[in-house]
């Protein structure tokens, strides 16, 4: 089964992460300059199991965003 993960711009250095159209967490930059994820809602056990499989991909995306932002700031 194919799933869709989207990063939707929400605010300055803040993105809503959607999984199959449902917002699951927020990716944002802290005051220390680090990107981090914060859950937006209590996930059901079935959705949580699926999200666990994609958490590594989200982590890789976070790293890619950080690298891209650093390359633009030079």
* Tens-place pLDDT, residues 9-35: 999 999 998 888 888 888 888 899 888
When divided into structural domains, the chain yields a total of: 1
> 26 versus 50: which is more confidently predicted?
26
Mean pLDDT score of the chain, rounded to an integer? 78
Q: What pLDDT does 45 receive?
A: 61
**CA 40 – CA 19 distance, rounded (Å):** 12
Domain around 33: 5-72
Q: State the burial class of residue 56 (Cβ atoms within 10 Å of its Cβ: 0-12, 13-18, 19+).
A: exposed
> Global pTM?
0.55
Does residue 72 carry a pLDDT above 80? no
């Amino acid at each position: 089964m194919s799933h869709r993960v989207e990063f939707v711009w929400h605010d300055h250095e803040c993105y809503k992460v959607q999984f199959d159209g449902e917002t699951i967490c927020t990716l944002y930059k802290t005051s220390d300059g680090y990107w981090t994820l914060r859950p937006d809602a209590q996930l059901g056990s079935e959705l949580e199991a699926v999200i666990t499989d994609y958490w590594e991909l989200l982590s890789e995306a976070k790293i890619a965003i950080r690298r891209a932002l650093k390359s633009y700031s030079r």
